[in-house]
Chain A
Amino acid sequence: MSSRSVLNVMLAFYMAVFFGFLFGPLIIMGVSAFNTSTYPQVYPIEGFTLSWFDKLLSDRDMVYGMKNSLWIGMWVVLLSVPLGLAGAMMMNQVYHKARSFYYVIVVSPVLTPGIIIGISTVVFWRDLTTTTGSKFLYDGVFLTVLGQSSFISAYSMLMFMSRLNRFDRAQEEAGLDLGATQTQVFFHILLPFLRPAIFSSAVLAFLSSFENYNTTTFAILADKTLTTVLAGRVRQGTTPAISALAVLIIAVTVTGAIIYELVKRHEDRKRQERLDAAHKAERMELQSIENATLHA
């Protein structure tokens, strides 16, 4: 065997281990969701069934937690994306020397352990609502949205910052020069430029909220989200219904990823067509100049 094919075999082996490590648990989940055995297992396959999905959908706690998680996720997106954008824009405005200080302050929630954010959110709001007599604000969903947003908006700020770094300030000046107000420049020029970052930070914010446990488990108080329900369940022993849930979540994620990829490919193709058109125009332009000088 040549050294080259030894290398290939080793590489293939490595890839198999790597992907096995990544996707093994998901595959086990996926298969066990359809196996009739009452304990999640892949082998032996005792029979094919969809009953675990039924069971999942009739599990009131689980469905309730799921709805709550989606609801919280939506609010976190609505809060964190604008906050992150404002924070990133602020970053460009602050005086040079204050910039790194500002950065540390704004990013610190990302570095703080989630448990601490959860506990401090609870303590702060308990005291605040008690002393001001606004006890109705001491609500699990409300606190969870705030607690999660405190660090998720920092993620979103980081994403906006990297996009804003690529913004050509001359665009803004060109808008102003043509008579636009700052507000018009923001809506007509800056926001469209930021659209990809708005999209990706919204997705990231939603996913981080949806899967968050550490902060949520405290901030949610007596209420429930999907993660807290699941945590409680797993403690009592896992069932294939949980595998069924995993299959649903994976299906949604994979579908989303495929759609995203298709859209992106379509856009790349469009862009390539535009660049080709530009090249062609460029050549024709030079050609016509040459012709003009030849005939002159």
Chain B
Amino acid sequence: MKKKYSIKSLIKNSLSDNENWGKMWRNPNPKKHYDVIIVGGGGHGLGTAYYLAKHHGVKNIAVIEKGWLGSGNTGRNTTIIRSNYLWDESANLYDHAVKLWENLSEDLNYNMMFSQRGVLNLAHNEHDIKEIKRRVSANRLNGLDTMWLDKNEVKDLVPIMNTDNLRYPVLGAAYQPRGGVARHDAVAWGYAMRADELGVDIIQNCEVKGIKTDNYKVEGVETTKGFIKSSKIGVVASGHTSVLAATAGVRLPLQSRPLQALVSEPIKPVINTVVMSNAVHAYVSQSDKGELVIGAGTDGYNSFTQRGGYDVIEETVRAIVELYPIFGKMKMLRQWGGIVDICPDASPIISKCDVEGLYFNCGWGTGGFKATPGSANVFAHTIAKDEPHKINAPFALSRFSDGRLIDEHGAAAVAH
């Protein structure tokens, strides 16, 4: 039955202490065969299943997740959303996502808490100014709402920022007002609930141990709940994608590293936008609960331990305290890590490969949350039609042999 959320259902359920909301999705046992199997129950995977069922009429789909839904990077990120990337290919892809974000709560009838509070990217030196102004101009040519703000305009937006009395003074910033944040869990749960309603089997606590192929064709997946047959498999497993690819004999140009975030004790509202800085490597926003959400960098070596090193947090916190002296005495409540899949050109791979029926959506690295609906939408197209949508065609694996890289190291320099 289609679940409707409204002010009426809120009031009604509050009268019974919110005990009667019911399950949001089924918990089925896997069937022997599916038309499409999605490996990875993060936002990108669940969204892909949703769009496959909704837009492409695929009936028999499973999403297989090794932990619980959103227990990967979808539930571990700092939720910054923006589309101010340098190259046309990226601007198209990321803004496709921002446009979908703008209607996602309505489309899924589930509150994404998408808050377009704007995103600032600070400049601290001459080179930053040149790089950022170039990116602002490129964005404007692509019809994006990015603009250059001088120091005083930055200070007006974020009065608590120390712009002058620090080692790397703030000289200005790029500002994208349509950027912002959303609720990470809601994305996974919203897509999961609506995909389930369309008949998608969501199978949690089930690890894919290997992808079975025969003569460069997929046959199915070996899982902890047995073998499941399928002639189309989409792998959307972030940090574990290359490990899974290897079981099918496919190599991907990815390196997996821990990326960390931390949140503070909740305080009254002090910052109503998102501020990021490449040069001193720090970014911060304030959640609706009042916690500061702070993103640190990646560890300097490959690892799947999902924790992250303390020296990395130290570096970030040092930069945060210098930029915002008012935060100096705050207590941090929680810290965690996620394993991100980093691609050589800091752009994702949404692509077919040499094995028929095997599709990859990976390489999102430190910054794929913002792209969730867009990525899922074009990946569903790629799987259904067995050819890329025009938006993701440039993000093919072939770019690592033909040299058409999409270098976004500038736009993705602060790891988020």
Question: Do A and B interact?
Answer: no
Residues of B whose CB lies within 8 Å of any CB of A are none
